[in-house]
Structure 1
Amino acid sequence: MSVESRQQPRPRAGRTTAGRRRLRHALTVAAIDLFLARGYDTTTVDEIAAAAGVGRRTFFRYFRSKEDAIFPDHEEVLAEVERSLATAVPAQDPVAVACTAVRLVLEHYLADPDVSVKRFDLTRTVPSLRDREVAMVDRYQRVFARYLRGRFEEVGDPMPDLRASVAAAAVAAAHNHVLRRWLRSGGKEDVQANATAAFRLVTGAFSAPVDPRGEGRTVVAVMEASAPMAEVMRQISAALREN
């Protein structure tokens, strides 16, 4: 079936939140299908709008560029993650809180598996879209690092910046590994079980030990300043397990 034959009758402009969400999704689906069928560089905004059954002006009410149409809800999901971190109960383990928050990103992909799998295929072949995705991951990781640094500082961790950066990188890496396995399987793998196992690994390595009085204990790992990040993570994980 050609892209043209899948065009829908022109929808009425979204006048409600649900209507705007449907139209936004229709534009994203049209963009991804056209990019896969014709190529990203050769597809125009006018073609995307026409495939979704709307005009060019309507497209630009929702997206600044055709690249934005591929990642339509990034800012909303990022804001949701930040709210989750900001409203977490202080007594909760901060690394576990970060793992719970990153599941919001995972759930966003799982909510629309067809689009998620197609987007994955697209970003693997279009460098500019892959770079955009990498930048998005970096923003999430910086949000987690900022939250974790604040929490580690509260308990007097001697290296809150380092520990927060490494733990945030581990949270993001665990999420990305699980998500990409699911995407490569065409959305068929048991992503929830894999996520649970991955995040358990992260919390086991980086969660702050707590003594019976409820006070955080400090663990220090000494290493060369030039040590690669993989070695930093290995030594810190080993020090946490020993204490």
Structure 2
Amino acid sequence: MIASSAVPPAALDLLISQGFDTTSVDELAAAAGISRSTFFRRFGSKENMVFADQEMIITHVQTTLAASSVDAISTLIDAAHVVFDQYTVNPEGARLRHRLLSSVPSLRERELVSTHRYERAFYDFLVRRELANTASEKSLCLGVSAGLVAIHNDHLRTWIKDPASTDRSKLAHDVRLFLERFADLLGGENTGTTAASPTPTVIVSVIDPGSDEQSILQAVSAALKEHSK
């Protein structure tokens, strides 16, 4: 688990109550219990403060994906847990941030950028696993990445409304259910190839070496017909 949210809840609450555009950096710094210079050194801007934890989470997701040695489906579930756990460990901050994003269009646009970065992290992982070698596989991997983010975000929004309605185990269940629909793509290196039918063993015994080829073929044919009855 990485450190809890880098976004001060008191500062988020102030942005909601006073308005994003009308709240000054000095007020945010005071709410966060830091100086103005420390605020700029730590965050750079009001908008960066709102999304300060995103960089940590994305970095942790990328590390989780890069370090994994288990199958793709299990790895993607672990990565989804990284994001979900980071938000749910700080309920107050998660709810305040959700309220703020819902009321400020410019922040919602920034949130979309973060969403695409998560999708890209998942897609890059699938590429490294050599699961996106063809044009069709690339399209499927893009769809898998977007779907994974959508399922996570749906569970997170559900949790924000009612924490008892979902948890990390339910998230894992739905993510696995979704990913297993792409088992042919995500299942392993040999996925997608059809196993060849076993070659039957044929033993031909020629009792009379003087028999001609036609007689032998007729005898084999008769024996096969008799065996199939």
**Secondary structure, aligned partner of 2:124:** helix
Query: How many corresponding residue pairs?
Result: 192
Measure, in 1, the Cα distance between the counterparts of 2:62 and 2:127.
14
The answer to whether the 8 Å contact 1:49/1:56 transfers is yes
Measure, in 2, the Cα distance between the counterparts of 1:69 and 1:153.
36
Q: Which residue matches 1:79? A: 59
CA positional deviation for 1:210: 8.7
Closer, same or farther: CA 63–158 of 1 in aligned 2, 3 Å: closer
- In the alignment, structure 2 segments of 5+ residues that lack a partner are 195-229
What are the superposed Cα offsets for residues 16-73 of structure 1, whole Å, 9 maximum, x if unpaired?
A: xxxxx79x84x62232010111111100101011223322111111101011111222
From 82, 90, 112, the equivalent of 1:112 is: 90
Q: Which residue matches 2:21? A: 41
1:196 aligns with 2:176: no
Q: Which residue matches 1:167? A: 144
TM-score normalised per structure 2: 0.75
TM-score normalised per structure 1: 0.71
Measure, in 2, the Cα distance between the counterparts of 1:198 and 1:93.
17
Q: Which residue matches 1:149? A: 127
Measure, in 1, the Cα distance between the counterparts of 2:108 and 2:189.
44
1:61 aligns with 2:41: yes
What are the superposed Cα offsets for residues 149-192 of structure 1, whole Å, 9 maximum, x if unpaired?
A: 332448x666331121011111111111111111122x343322
- The percentage of counterpart residues that share the same residue type is 32
Closer, same or farther: CA 161–30 of 1 in aligned 2, 3 Å: same
- In the alignment, structure 1 segments of 5+ residues that lack a partner are 1-20, 220-243
Measure, in 2, the Cα distance between the counterparts of 1:66 and 1:165.
32
The answer to whether the 8 Å contact 1:77/1:105 transfers is yes
If asked which structure has higher relative contact order (CA below 8 Å, sep 6+), I would say 2
Name the amino acid aligned to 2:182. Answer: F
Written as runs of structure 1 = structure 2, the 5 A alignment for 1:128-147 is 128-147=106-125
Closer, same or farther: CA 127–214 of 1 in aligned 2, 3 Å: closer
Task: Determine which structure has more spread, i.e. the larger CA radius of gyration.
Answer: 2
CA positional deviation for 1:116: 0.3
